[in-house]
Amino acid sequence: MQFPDYRPRRMRRTEGLRRMVRETRLSPDNLILPLFVVPGTGVEEDVASMPGVRRASADRITAQSSPAFDAGVPAVILVGIPEHKDAQGSEAWSDSGVVQRAIKAIKRERPELVVITDVCMCEYTDHGHCGHLTRGAGGAVEVDNDATLELLARESLSHAKAGADMVAPSDMMDGRVGFIREALDDKGFEHVAIMAYAAKYASAFYGPFRDAAESAPQEGDRRGYQMDPANALEALREIALDIEEGADIVMVKPAHTYLDVIHAASQEFDHPIAAYHVSGEYAMLHAAAERGWLDLERAMLEALVGIHRAGADMILTYWAVEAARRLRA
């Protein structure tokens, strides 16, 4: 039997050979660790639906951020859960808010660590929606887009004042990137970058996050402002708008069920592309591993490599520390 001269299996025979021809190289530099910050002092508590993830008060958050930095992870993103919620989410821009205090704590201990902050109202409002709520036709709840922009700008400015390197609006309001950019520049925070949740889908994979962040809507849902999972071209239009308004990084969320969108965005735009490997994707693999259905470490790395291979320059993942340690081993 005649074989072609090129035999791919030659280069798969040993780990050393595989490393030599590896096309996609994931590194700790590609990873961002999400952290949940809660009220109080001395608080560290497990998130039941997300094994290995812990919520912490601002004075304990460095117990998670410092190991990330030591493992080679360059950035964390902070999600705040306030002590008190109201209709406007006013604790989002409090100088003594949980995220503001966490930023300062992290910067005191690890000033080189990049601190990103999630900017949205859903964690702070008593109704759980991502902005200023109104009633539409028939009494249905609606988020007032333009009124919400003012709130997002106030939150972004408060985070910048506390020392954040980057703000990440996750609300999906129209025009919010430009509005936040102008507000930051007007107050002398031109150096603070924006990572826009540009293509954020109305996904079924956010459940564990909403438990951890206490951010589930009390009425209605978010399909009126988050994207339809069936749409891909719309995501490219959303990303283009955010870039035009001044986004420094654009994000696709979730990651695994939207690899085609990540790839299309990486081909269409020169901007850095982020992808969020969300809580449901994380919990799903943990649940399968707990039942003995897959090897968790191999599945973790394969999932992250796949996201990077699709075109994501950076990945927000709850596995950032574990993956970074494994990649550096």
Catalytic residues, by residue number, are 200, 253
Q: How far, in Å, CA of 299 to CA of 294, rounded?
A: 7
Tokens describing residue 48? 């039941």
Write 186-192 long-range contacts (CB < 8 A, 24+). Answer: 187/157, 187/160, 189/157, 189/160, 189/161, 192/156, 192/160, 192/164, 192/165, 192/166, 192/167
Q: How far, in Å, CA of 241 to CA of 178, rounded?
A: 9
Neighbours of 233 (CB within 10 A): 9
SS3 135: strand
CA dihedral 97, 98, 100, 101 (to 10 degrees): 110
The contacts of residue 89 (CB under 8 Å, 6+ apart) are 121, 122, 123, 124, 125, 151, 155
- In terms of DSSP bridges, do strands 44-46 and 54-57 run parallel, antiparallel, or are they unpaired? antiparallel
Q: DSSP character for 125?
A: B
Whether a cis peptide bond, with omega within 30° of 0, leads into 169 is no
Listed in sequence order, the DSSP H helices in the chain are 15-20, 62-71, 98-109, 145-162, 176-186, 207-213, 233-245, 259-268, 279-290, 296-310, 320-328
Q: How far, in Å, CA of 30 to CA of 7, rounded?
A: 32
Q: DSSP character for 28?
A: G
